Amino acid sequence: MNTEIAGIIFIFVLTVIIALPLGKYIAKVYLGERTWTDFLKPLERGIYKLSGINPNEEMNWKQHLKALLTINFVWFVYAFFMLLFQDKLPMNPDGNPAQTPDLAFNTAISFLVNCNLQHYSGETGVTYLTQIFVLAFLQFVSAATGMAALVVVFKALKEKTATQLGNFWQYFVKSITRILLPISILLAIIFTFNGMPASFEGKGQYVSVQGDTVNVSRGPVAAYVAIKHLGTNGGGWFAANSAHPLENPSYITNIVEMLAQTIIPLAMIFAFGFFIKRRKFAWVIFGVMTVGMLCLLIPTIISEVNGNPALTKMGIMQSTGAMEGKEVRFGPAATAYWSIVTTVISTGSVNGWHDSTMPISGMMQMLAMMTNAFYGGCGVGILNYFIYIIIAVFIAGLMVGRTPEFMGHKIEAREVKIAAIIALLHPFLILAGTALSSYVLSHNLGAAWATPPGNWLNNPGYHGFSEMLYEYTSATANNGSGFEGLTDNNVFWNVTTGIILIVSRFLPIIGPVAIAGILAQKRFVPESAGTLRTDTATFGMMTFAVIVILAALSFFPSLALGPLAEYFSML
């Protein structure tokens, strides 16, 4: 067990060591400074020319959002029809069927918004063509969309007064050519040489120890898993995701996959500091997010390592901890670390079943997504955190009797209203969705929508409620992991989570970009003795308190009905 804990510490420290220089590099890329990847400029110019884009054309914040939303709508239409007719298209050696309209709607939206909530089985629900040219494609562009939106905020906060905030298409293309694609190629090579399939062959056969002939799905898994984690997407090539031995063959690949899904979210924090020339402020953000992550991680590790108290009362020894739903290759501590990191960062991949973890662990996983502000996904993590900064600055200003200011700009009613709406939207979508599903289930209205007709839940009582709460929490946080006791591939879940995915992705992008754009247009106010400093530990604690209080007030009742009630019932 000590070895597992040491491994967790090693992975996190190594992530920070990599993220620091990567953050500096990312800042240089977006600032247009010279980098070692400048040899890609001809490729980028070709993309701009082919697309009819002028990368030097400046945009205001409204034009940035118009470009972002328009191209995302085009990608959705493309993905929806490809999934709807995938059985009639080539590159389908296993003869997988087409998706139903409601499932195609959910899948297209889910991958478009960087959530990858999979209501289908990876190896049987899609073909090689749609895995690569739809899902993997969306994993690149959805991550780049979040990163490009964040750079608009970077640009707005960097300038004293500005209406023109760079070019969205340039930020977007550079996110792929200079960051996502080169690192993904490196990761794919590492994965290939460590046992992940990297071919286009169909299912292979082998004879098990028992003498059974088993068909095993294959494909270009290594390349897919690279962007799955680097872009904090999380969608698995296989249904078992990174618990599958071909999607995560060894402890080495487990470490690399953990690094892959954390380096860009952490690097973007440091890139923020380099970009706006406020490195101390970036360290304050990193400190708050790390403390928040540890508050979730430590109880989860303790819970999983100590095992199931119900089994302990029966006299059953659990020397290796709670092992239900976990891979022996990784153990309870490493699986606990993955489960928190993947929910904190909004990747949503799994190397063990969250549904089988202890109730306290399940609650921590949900809290990671409910707060939705510690590290987060590519770009959108800091966008979510930015909302809490605005609220914290506003509250602090009221406490000292001064007009709130942030980065030399006064925060007024319009910005605070936008921040409040975005902050309240997150719990509203989660709780409203859970309430709706509970009502439909309790009145047996969902049986007609289920396939086959029947109950959605494989677990009754508190845990069944947790399954529904987790599903909407995962969808709203653009995470994609799930409590797999829920039967979710039916019209009700596909449509309701699909709608929530759209709203919870784009409004939290629109809000911060709008606030930053409005602030950038205002007259710059030089710092004075009375200016609230945001690069101090005191302000960091203030922001942390705002996050905790909002999460506690919003979600404690629902958590009390689910994982907390389940925990106390076990005792």
Sign of CA dihedral 364, 376, 110, 196: negative
Contacts 24+ apart (CB under 8 A), 134-138: 134/78, 134/79, 134/82, 134/83, 134/108, 135/107, 135/111, 135/224, 135/235, 136/223, 136/224, 136/227, 138/75, 138/79, 138/111, 138/112
Please write the tens of the pLDDT for every residue from 154-186: 999 998 888 899 999 999 999 999 999 999 999
Q: Which of 443, 487, 446 is nearest to 464 (CA)?
A: 487
Between residues 400 and 513, which one has the greater pLDDT? 513
Q: How many distinct helices (H) and strands (E) make up the chain?
A: 21, 4
Structural tokens at position 148: 């490009």
Q: Where are the domains of the chain?
A: 11-277, 380-570
Task: Tell me the one-letter amino acid at 372.
Answer: N
Please spell the DSSP secondary structure of 524-546, one letter per residue: P----TTSPPSSSHHHHHHHHHH
The contacts of residue 113 (CB under 8 Å, 6+ apart) are 142, 478, 501, 502, 504, 505, 506
- Is residue 83 pLDDT above 90, yes or no? yes
Please state the pTM of the whole predicted model.
0.93
- The per-residue pLDDT for range 294-337, each reduced to its tens digit, is 999 999 999 998 888 877 778 777 778 888 888 888 888 889 99
Per-residue confidence (pLDDT) for residue 451, from 0 to 100: 55
CA distance linking residue 438 with residue 557, whole number of Å = 15
- Note the pLDDT tens digit of each residue in 117-152: 999 988 889 999 999 999 999 999 999 999 999 999
- Name the one residue in this structure whose structure tokens are 């020397």: 319
Express as a percent the part of the chain with pLDDT over 90.
65
**Predicted pLDDT at 418:** 95
Average pLDDT over the chain, rounded to an integer: 90
Q: Is 248 left (phi over 0), alpha (psi -120 to 50) or beta?
A: beta
Q: What is the pLDDT of residues 366-395, one digit of tens each?
A: 999 999 889 988 888 899 999 999 999 888
Q: 554 Cβ partners below 8 Å, 6+ apart?
A: 370, 426, 427, 431
Phi-psi region at 109: left, alpha or beta (left = phi > 0; alpha = psi -120 to 50): alpha
